[in-house]
Amino acid sequence: MSVTDMGNIRKAPIGVFDSGVGGLTVAREIMRNLPNEDIVYFGDTARVPYGSKSKDTIIRFSQQIIRFLRTQNVKAIVIACNTASALALDEVEEELDIPIIGVLKPGAKVAAATTRNGKIGVIGTESTINSQMYPKYIREQNPEVAVYGKACPLFVPLVEEGWLKDPVTEEVARRYLENLLKDGIDSLILGCTHYPLLRSLIRGVVGETVNLVNPAYETARELGELLREEGLEHPERNGQKACHQFYVSDAAEKFRNFANSILPCDIGETQKIHIEDY
Ligand code: DGL
């Protein structure tokens, strides 16, 4: 590849996708940690939630989204959705000639490396927890660790309702987390895109001694390392801001309002596309 081609690839955007708005917590970490990188984000708002769907369906959806992102000439892809990372990453990465990462491995790696008592809790959607992929990745790092999983399906609608500090959400969290605390976990992986938005409420329930691991943050860090290793980092911008584009499969205005409430910038236009065409 010529130096000019390489220079152009470095300027290409990162493709980021999720079942809907949740992956914006990952996009937010990428914006904070890798401010030179442009992002093309796709939220599958017509087909959300993924967390209760089967592996075959999630693989098909992920393949379609990746085909769409390739039309945007992305240089790398981040599966921001924990469910899609758990169920589809292995299949889709075999078919790709650009780097792709999911959010599970980065979170699993940090939890395995930082636990003091070898007891890690993982919370996520039903499909993520049933897939047993977090325990698999954690044990690849450290076979001695015990992993305790708990599906917390009510958290996603509560976050989308904006009840981030509500007593109802707190009560739900207490019930979900009770047994993990009895098991004596010292680390808790927030294994769903929406859960970092409940971080302070969960902190209140689990107390100060449990280390909360945010896969969104760890993924942004790992993406930075990957881009450096592959020589794909965006060149310095000399004061110019990165440019992000947002696509959804439905309800663009609702998506835009949510995005503007959690991202550090106004996202401007959001385009709706017909994802089944890809
Ligand atoms: N984005 C999903 C995840 O991280 C949560 C929402 C859904 O079920 O689609 O697993």
Kindly give the distance from the C-alpha atom of residue 169 to the centroid of ligand 1, in angstroms, as a whole number.
18
The confidence score (pLDDT) of residue 225 equals 98
The active-site residue out of 81, 152, 243, 265 is 81
Q: Which of 156, 197, 219, 262 to mutate to test the pocket of ligand 1 (most atoms within 8 A of CB)?
A: 156
Mean pLDDT by 10 residues, the chain (278 residues): 74 98 97 97 98 97 98 98 98 96 98 98 97 98 97 97 97 98 98 98 98 98 98 94 96 96 91 98
Kindly give the distance from the C-alpha atom of residue 128 to the centroid of ligand 1, in angstroms, as a whole number.
9
Edge-to-edge, what's the strand order for the sheet holding 211-213? 146-151, 119-124, 187-190, 211-213
The confidence score (pLDDT) of residue 3 equals 60
Report pTM: 0.96
**Known catalytic membership, residue 243:** no
For the CA of 51, the nearest atom of ligand 1: 8
For the CA of 22, the nearest atom of ligand 1: 1
Pocket of ligand 1 (CB under 6 A): 18-19, 22, 48-51, 81-83, 124-125, 128, 156, 192-194
Kindly give the distance from the C-alpha atom of residue 126 to the centroid of ligand 1, in angstroms, as a whole number.
10
The confidence score (pLDDT) of residue 268 equals 86
Kindly give the distance from the C-alpha atom of residue 242 to the centroid of ligand 1, in angstroms, as a whole number.
27
The confidence score (pLDDT) of residue 5 equals 72
The confidence score (pLDDT) of residue 265 equals 87
CB of 30 closer than 8 Å to CB of 18: no
What is the rounded end-to-end Cα distance, in angstroms, of the chain? 28
Q: Which of 16, 17, 18 to mutate to test the pocket of ligand 1 (most atoms within 8 A of CB)?
A: 18
Kindly give the distance from the C-alpha atom of residue 149 to the centroid of ligand 1, in angstroms, as a whole number.
16
Alpha helices in the chain (DSSP H): 3-10, 24-33, 55-71, 82-94, 104-114, 126-131, 133-141, 155-160, 167-182, 199-206, 215-229, 252-262
CA 83 to chain centre: 9
Which among 256, 236, 261, 215 is positioned nearest to 10, based on CA atoms?
236
